[in-house]
Chains A and B, each alone.
Chain A
Amino acid sequence: MPDITRDEVAHLADLARIDLSDAELDHLAPQLAVILDSIRSISEVAAEDIPPTSHPMPLTNVFREDLPRPCLTAEEALSGAPQVEEQRFAVPRILGEDA
């Protein structure tokens, strides 16, 4: 596993939608490299035949009946919104896939 570069950190920050300043990149990139270095040993631990554990408790098939539960009121739903218009969440213009 290669060292994490400043460019790579910038790319990851972009994927994570965080606008890191140059100063922050300078500060975080070396720290991340150290953290990664300290956890690098993990790749040599487990053999091929070890099953992964995604969950500590082996539960399966937890389902809900198809019965309605009370919703929030629109007022409650919108109570934390930075901006509201026409009972909807008002958000800055969306650039995107669906035109």
Chain B
Amino acid sequence: MTTAPALMSFDEALERFDPVMGLEVHVELNTVTKMFCGCPTEFGAAPNTQVCPTCLGLPGAMPVVNGKAVESAIRIGLALNCNIATWCRFARKNYFYPDMPKNFQTSQYDEPIAYDGWTEVEVDGETFRVEIERAHMEEDTGKSLHVGTSGRIHGADYSLVDYNRAGIPLIEIVTKPIVGTREKAPQVARAYVAHLRELLLSLGVSDVRMEQGSLRCDVNLSLKRRDDERFGTRTETKNVNSLRSVERAVRYEIGRQAARLSDGDSVVQETRHWHEDTGVTTSGREKSDAEDYRYFPEPDLVPVAPDDAWVEELRGTLPEPPREHRARLQKEWGFSDLEMRDTVGAGALNLVEETVAAGATPAAARKWWLSDLARRANERGVDLSDLGVSPTDVARVQELVDEGKINDKLARQVFDGVIAGEGTPDEVVASRGLAVVSDEGALSDAVDRAIDANPDVAEKIRAGKVAAAGALIGAVMKEMRGQADAGRVRELILEKLG
């Protein structure tokens, strides 16, 4: 292993260089079947059980385009304000790799289905426009498992390949170079990917589960000297697979490249690998000029030529654009600008929206997602949506609180249980015995014991100093280990001493 490269501090790097980013996002579509054959796309099946002659690349087999995937590609293009090609083709990208059954990837080359679009993302109240170069259709590869001492490709004795993922439809969305983001570059990158995720989710075209690889991001980054118009040499950091990592990878590459350039070294044009655990990128394959994919139109497929009627019909199916959507929600929910920005910034907009849809009040939904749950996600280093708590869960917990079956303190324990995989909130309440004690007899006995143990406090209350009741409530709650409705305890104390 090479020694860790020098890094320049982020602030210093930004003083001397402007980052230029290009983001390539691969999205797995959630079609029922693969891009070019009728094999199911379901995740997690036994190895090599979702394959056919076509996706296995058997001699003689032929591809047929999944119309639903084309439809999804066009909808994504439209949502990103792209032009939709009136005529485009698939092309073969020829290179040898054992994960790829045909040793070419059926993709699109110079004729993407969607091109020249734009979208906007917000960071700290500032809007950044991101130009979209293209969105094109292609297919995924199989997955190899490396058997050997190190458990990685290099040094593995052999590999085991499962082609269930081969042929899953992918849309690759490529931005034009993103410039002028300065110190916000890492956040803009993250916000862009978060925004895409939100958009794709609202379109219903993908599950966008980064942890399952259904949304993957490659980060291209170069640094431009502040006194120079020319772009620097870029690196391509592959497989940055969480929102946090996108931000961290951009920040890391800025520091690394700045250090190299300042030391008089050049940045090598190469593929780099992102390491989630250590938060660094390492050198991968050098991009050589000899790399020659020998693209040519796929002769087994015919051109895709969406007519206006079809494109307009699909345009009619687009959901409300995120910006308008946010404005409408803010009004409906009565959030302040700051509350709304925090909600969006935490990546909780959809979660809050779905929680409200599941029956919670907007304020309650925001409270849970942005405080307790955000803290837990942060502790675990995962995105909020990957925490393992669903909007339905949150709404149900709030409902239990409102019904007096649990209190806020117990609610936090319920969330712990849900995150730990112990089941639904109701199941966690049952299995952990978290329900507040509503047995009047037990509660009454506990109050009596508290009064007996604190005669001076009881006397004050009898004398009309109602505020003193807090001490008795605390004692009762302590005895009940928190599983009592504090309001009812208070009522009982006042009844007995009134």
Contacts and interface: CB of A to CB of B under 8 A. Distances in A.
Contact of A99 (B38, B39, B152, B304): B152
B56 A86 contact: no
Contacts of B51: 71-72, 77
A88 interface: yes
A94 B49 CA distance: 23
Contact of B38 (A64, A74, A78): A64
A77 B357 CA distance: 45
Interface stretch (A20-28, A34-42, A54-62): A54-62
Contacts of B145: 86, 88
Given A60-B302, A61-B304, A71-B39, A95 B66 contact: no
Contacts of A95: 153-154
Contact of B273 (A55, A88, A99): A99
Interface string A64-76: 1111111111100
Interface in B89-105: 89, 96-99
B156 A94 contact: yes
B162 A88 contact: yes
Contact of B32 (A55, A67, A70, A78): A67
A7 interface: no
B98 A65 contact: no
B110 to A, nearest CB: 13
Interface string B48-82: 11111100100000001111111000000000000
B39 A68 contact: yes
B271 A97 contact: yes
Contacts of B157: 93
Contact of B52 (A71, A94, A96): A71
B64 A55 contact: no
A98 B143 CA distance: 11
Instruction: Decide if the interface of chain A is mainly helix, strand, loop or mixed.
Output: loop
Nearest to B304: A61
A62 B304 CA distance: 8
A63 B47 CA distance: 28
Contacts of B67: 63-66
Contacts of B33: 64, 66-69
Interface string B88-129: 010000001111000000000000000000000000000000
Contact of B65 (A62, A68, A73, A74): A62
Contacts of A71: 39-40, 49-52
A55 B301 CA distance: 9
B160 interface: yes
B266 to A, nearest CB: 22
B189 interface: no
A17 to B, nearest CB: 5
Contact of B160 (A55, A57, A88, A96): A88
Nearest to A92: B158
Interface string B33-46: 10001111000001
Nearest to B271: A97
A65 B271 CA distance: 37
Contacts of A74: 46-49
A50 interface: no
Nearest to B305: A60
Contact of A55 (B52, B153, B284, B302): B302
A26 B69 CA distance: 49
Contacts of B175: none
A57 B144 CA distance: 39
Nearest to B161: A89
Pick from A62, A90, A96 the residue with the most CB of B within 10 Å.
Answer: A96
A44 to B, nearest CB: 22
A1 interface: no
A85 to B, nearest CB: 6
B37 A59 contact: no
Given A68-B39, A94-B98, A77 B163 contact: yes
B417 interface: no
B146 A94 contact: yes
A67 B38 contact: yes
A85 B68 CA distance: 35
A60 B87 contact: yes
B154 A99 contact: yes
B89 A54 contact: yes
B464 interface: no
A69 B36 CA distance: 12
Contacts of B56: 72, 77
A94 B48 contact: no
A54 B91 CA distance: 11
Contacts of A47: none
Contacts of B163: 77, 89
Interface of A: 15, 17, 54-55, 57, 59-74, 77-78, 85-99
Given A61-B304, A62-B64, A92-B158, 17 more contacts: A61-B303, A64-B38, A68-B33, A68-B39, A68-B40, A71-B50, A77-B51, A86-B145, A88-B145, A91-B98, A91-B144, A91-B159, A93-B153, A94-B153, A98-B273, A99-B152, A99-B284
Minimum-distance CB pairs A-B, first 3: A69-B38, A63-B67, A66-B68
16 contacts: A54-B297, A60-B304, A66-B32, A67-B32, A67-B33, A69-B39, A73-B49, A77-B56, A85-B147, A86-B47, A88-B162, A89-B48, A91-B98, A93-B156, A99-B273, A99-B284
